[in-house]
Structure 1
């Protein structure tokens, strides 16, 4: 993963603007799920590492813009770029990462470039869907599932697809693997926002509800509450929650098995991912599914 960071730094340094390089070095590069996925499919080479760096640049650009949209002060336990350097610089750095990523992507085979570029278009639509769904307390599970597919799963799906492109494997089967892995990954992220503490998450827990994000556990919770409790839950939408309110939400989640139902759905998606590529018997990809679902942050 350090090699991928070095390539990303090199990409930005090549632009010749020290301030951009300086700010970029304050961006937390994260778990690199997409890079790990690609390398498990194609192995390590100069080409695959450069493609990993491009995909990570694009992913980081989306996170920079996401933090601005959500007015987030933290990212992975550190001050966000918008909190440290200001909203304008965060947006422009995101634009720089997108632009450089696409420039480097243009050097690859057109099919690979098209797969990633199409995913980024959909990713941006997913961001807009997220904003639209955050206007009101969303209770539509299908709208939520569509949004997380566009916002999170499409780039993971495309990563698996280009891995298949590079190795001559069945693109559609690996695309299905990536799609279901990405959906499961986002579902678990949304669950952990409720179940884990702020120290583990690197941000306040239950922050999704404060930001107007009604994730699957909240939708299941809403469906299983009476009218009075539904009203109380909706009053917490976009509110700064105190400890008593947090305890109330967690208690109701427990009584309605909303978390358990959401975990079950994530596991079903993981099973679909594994079934898509079962014929290849790639143990590391099997492990990736289990590690993404059975995690604490």
Structure 2
């Protein structure tokens, strides 16, 4: 496995680093969680039961933490960021419920997915309920600009998921199309989560756009690392079954790189397994071997580091503060997961 560059958080200490970041916004995060639990409630018992199932699965709350840190970075001293951070988490959780149904996933963060427990119908409908709660929080905030940013992000995420569905099982997918998918389905919410921190603080557009750029590049780096991990992480670390992307025929950057660098016999393997989904129990191991042969995992992580550096540079306009350091540390944490 590639050695960890010194400028990154060591993999074994990254969890501790995340706890330090969380500690900085612990009081606010507690209020975010209170709002989430409160708004999950319904007289229809299946709604809180199913919503609690995915919330209790142990998400890291990276996206709402970004909203809290961005607001603090911009010197905001009010409370609007708390409701909006909860809104961001509701959007994220709703997309997870829908994604697991589409992907027919059995595990999420090491636990059975909602669709594995309740079937497909209930998670889709509860996901819709959580989206509705998110929009209630947007309206309660009262800012048309915040509403525009978060509602646009929701639309972009949905488009990204449909785009991924269209490009799935197609080895002719280009890197540009792949990057367009992950910019939409993952980075859009990272971007919005950061951008609204500047909006609530009424900061100049240059700061708003800097935070949007930080979130956008962080989100792309985050997804690139996830796509690399799908082929070489331990299941306990990944929080889902290793090789899920392969079994579902998803076209991710490691596959695109190995496909481009391979010979015709190797490309025939990728077409059989990903386009036709004609797979044997040994095929995942062979796929991992081909990725290793062509350095596809290392190249994907290197690409994630490039986007991470762009995110780092986007924060350069802000003076040093504990919040800025935490956002830089969170960037390191997201990339260090690969090692």
Question: If the length of structure 1 is used for normalisation, what is the TM-score?
Answer: 0.94
Q: What residue is the counterpart of 2:61 in the other structure?
A: 32
**Mapping 1:100-115, distance limit 5 Å:** 100-108=133-141, 109-115=143-149
Q: Which residue of the partner structure matches residue 130 of structure 2?
A: 97
Residue by residue, what CA displacement relative to the aligned partner does 1:51-71 show, whole Å, maximum 9, x if unpaired? 111110111001101111111
Contact 1:267 1:293 in 2 (8 A): yes
Whether 2:316 is the aligned partner of 1:278: answer yes
Say if 1:120 and 1:249 are closer, same or farther in 2 by CA, change over 3 A: same
Question: Which of 123, 131, 137 pairs up with 2:165?
Answer: 131
In 1, distance between residues paired with 2:193 and 2:233?
Answer: 29
The answer to whether the Cα contact below 8 Å between 2:103 and 2:248 also exists between their aligned partners in 1 is yes
- Structure-1 separation of matches of 2:309 and 2:135: 33
Q: Which residue of 2 aligns with 1:77?
A: 110
Q: Work out the CA distance in 1 between the residues paired with 2:151 and 2:144.
A: 10
The 2-side partners of 1:153 and 1:241 are apart by 34
Checking the alignment, whether the CA contact within 8 Å between 1:210 and 1:241 is kept in structure 2 is no
Tell me, in whole angstroms, the C-alpha distance in 1 between the residues paired with 2:45 and 2:95: 22
Structure 2 residue ranges without an equivalent (≥5):
1-28
SS in 2 for 1:136: coil
TM-aligned CA distance change 1:65 to 1:138, over 3 Å: farther
Structure with the bigger RCO (C-alpha within 8 Å, sep 6+) is: 2
What is the root-mean-square deviation of aligned Cα atoms in Å? 1.7
Q: Cα deviations across residues 249-291 of structure 1 (Å, max 9, x unaligned)?
A: 2222122111111111110101111111212132111111111
Is 2:40 the counterpart of 1:12? yes
Change (3 A) 1:2 1:29: farther
Q: How far, CA to CA, are the matches of 2:110 and 2:31 in structure 1? A: 23
Q: Is the 8 A contact 2:272 2:279 kept in 1?
A: no
| Cα separation, 2, equivalents of 1:153 and 1:273 | 12
Instruction: Determine the structure 1 residue equivalent to 2:151.
Output: 117
Q: Give the structure 2 partner of residue 210 of structure 1.
A: 247
Tell me if the contact between 1:4 and 1:49 (Cα under 8 Å) persists in the aligned partners: yes
Contact 1:181–1:273 (CA under 8 A) maintained in structure 2: yes
2:229 counterpart of 1:201: no
Describe the SS at the equivalent of 2:140.
coil
1:236-255 matches, cutoff 5 A: 236-237=273-274, 238-242=277-281, 244-255=282-293
What is the aligned residue count? 295
Identify which of 252, 256, 262 aligns with 1:225: 262
Matched, 1:294 2:322: no
Q: Distance in 2 between matches of 1:165 and 1:271?
A: 24
The answer to whether the Cα contact below 8 Å between 1:139 and 1:222 also exists between their aligned partners in 2 is no
CA distance in 1, matches of 2:289, 2:58: 35
Give a deviation string over 1:225-267, Cα, whole Å, max 9, x none: 010111112222135552x433322222122111111111110
How far apart are the structure 2 equivalents of 1:292 and 1:24? Answer: 25
Work out whether residues 94 and 128 of structure 2, in 8 Å CA contact, stay in contact via their aligned partners in 1: yes
CA–CA distance in 2 between the matches of 1:33 and 1:172? 20
Alignment pair present for 1:53 and 2:82: no
* Alpha-carbon separation, structure 1, partners of 2:50 and 2:108: 14
